[in-house]
Amino acid sequence: MDLVAGVRGGQPTLGIQVKATDSLDRGGLVEARASYPVGKVRDDANFIYSVVLLQAVRIEAVWIIRSPDFNGLVYRSVSGGREVLEFRASPVRNDIFSAFRIDPMQLGPALLARIAESPKPPKWLLALARY
């Protein structure tokens, strides 16, 4: 997990895993991979993936996806005793991830909306907080 987020002065509400790339694959898709020990993939509405397409220092495209949705939509495989989740989406065309793609200039408001919609933080997330 890369970031913990919440409303200032409150409990942490989101754990955020950021996946970034600076290029598209041959098919014009953004690819991102997450790898976990088999059976240990986090599936919690308080855990989100943020997939970011960077071009220079400009964010070209960003997707904010709660882990239950992410886990159900990505390609999955097992390699070397690890479960691999592979995200592939177009930064401009409609696909199964289009509903999660947001305007990069709206990243802050989008995260605040996810915080407001989040259920009570689970113990694993509270354990990461430093008050």
In this structure, the number of other CB atoms found within 10 A of the CB of residue 65 comes to 24
3-state secondary structure (DSSP) of residue 8:
coil
Token pair belonging to 84? 């691999």
* C-alpha closest to that of 45 among 83, 14, 18: 14
Radius of gyration in angstroms for the set of CA atoms belonging to the chain, rounded to a whole number: 15
Q: How far apart are CA 47 and CA 33, in angstroms?
A: 16
Q: Over its length of 131 residues, how does the chain's per-residue pLDDT go in tens digits?
A: 788 888 777 778 888 999 999 889 999 999 999 999 999 898 999 999 999 998 777 888 999 999 999 999 999 999 899 999 999 999 999 999 999 999 999 999 999 998 898 888 888 888 877 65
